[in-house]
Structure 1
Amino acid sequence: MIRSVVPALTLLLAGPVLAQTAPQPYAALKDRPVKALSEQQLSDLRAGRGMGLALPAELNGYPGPSHALESADALSLTPDQRARTKALFEAMKAEAVPLGERLIREEMELERLFATKAVQPASLDAATTAIGATQGQLRAAHLRYHLAMMDVLTPAQVRRYGEVRGYGGADGHRQHGHGAHRP
């Protein structure tokens, strides 16, 4: 009996010590300016970067303007294609940056509601609905410019983009029966 009591007693006494030394996954986040967003996410939102929002397009054969510009030489973009891609990139950024800033403000408002203990079911619903709508608009903005790139690139360039990006040569746009927008 003593043999079974000693391990149990040891665990019972060690429990509080173990709990104090156990990692606290959110403790380091307490000092973030916007608790729900990392510094990298804040930077990406303010710069209009995609943050993986367009992965359904990117990984299914719809090139993004930013990465197409980065790979312009490998894709053999013509001067006209470069100009059109740059224009799409600038338009995407002009749309995404204000949405990113709005999302940051909305996250800050949600946080303020909790920090000031002012949150109520109605204000919680309103704040999270606003955040969700902005996230959806931001994602649609990024995806829309991937779609627009299909009018800029040839099917061969789309395939090459997939190769350059490490996805293989699959042209996901054509695979899904939509056909290429350009010959």
Structure 2
Amino acid sequence: MKLYSLFLFVFISTAASAQTPDSLLKPSPIKTISNTQYDALMKGRDQYQMSLVADLNGYPSAQKALKYKKELDLSPYQTAALTKINTELQRKKIEMGNFIVTNETKLDGLFQSKKINEGDILFYGNRSGLYHGELRNAILLASYNTYRLLAPAQINKLKSFKNDN
């Protein structure tokens, strides 16, 4: 009995330490995506740091520029254009997040039902890459277009603020 209790304790301890805090809070509706990833995809958050190449090279997000619009002395035209960029990017991130979740759900269902074949794997795998690529393109284009709207002095001033998108 003591050996069984020790084994059970070790098993439960190992299983609990293997779980992430996210998995302990709330299970994701899709078993192949964590709840944190699922929420980010559904709410349009950049969980994969797809903007990093733009950020590191001085191409700011519209969201950050709008956050500091007073400090940057944005014109009404710049504010309207940045708002449009930011709104469209948020819409696109949610749209692509829904497509990614739907694609992953379908792929999981095919594997679960044992009805998967090589063609399905290639199709849904490529589709996954397409959706991630379209999401990254939207994020990077928004940073590029934000950069083009701002004057060099505004970009330099924006660089001095903490990167807190």
TM-score, normalised via structure 2 length: 0.79
**Structure 2 unaligned blocks of 5 or more:** 1-5
1-structure distance, mates of 2:34, 2:12: 26
Which one of the candidate residues 160, 170, 181 is aligned to 2:157? 160
Which one of the candidate residues 47, 63, 66 is aligned to 1:66? 63
**Structure 1 unaligned blocks of 5 or more:** 1-13, 168-183
Provide closer, same or farther for how the CA distance between residues 76 and 36 of structure 1 changes in structure 2, counting only shifts above 3 A. farther
Q: Are residue 110 (structure 1) and residue 107 (structure 2) matched?
A: yes
1-structure distance, mates of 2:42, 2:51: 17
Q: Are residue 38 (structure 1) and residue 34 (structure 2) matched?
A: yes
Displacement, 1:125?
A: 2.1
Q: SS of the counterpart of 1:23?
A: helix
Counterpart of 1:124, as a letter, is I
1-structure distance, mates of 2:99, 2:71: 36
Percent identical among aligned pairs is 25
Which one of the candidate residues 14, 33, 39 is aligned to 1:22? 14
Q: Is the 8 A contact 1:74 1:164 kept in 2?
A: no
Q: Are residue 146 (structure 1) and residue 138 (structure 2) matched?
A: no
2-structure distance, mates of 1:89, 1:142: 10
Counterpart of 1:64, as a letter, is S
Tell which structure's C-alpha radius of gyration is larger: 1
Residues paired across the two proteins, number: 156
In structure 2, what is the equivalent of residue 178 of structure 1?
none
Matches for 1:6-17 after TM superposition, within 5 Å: none
1-structure distance, mates of 2:94, 2:12: 42
Displacement, 1:38?
A: 2.9
Q: Are residue 93 (structure 1) and residue 101 (structure 2) matched?
A: no
Displacement, 1:22?
A: 1.4
TM-score, normalised via structure 1 length: 0.72
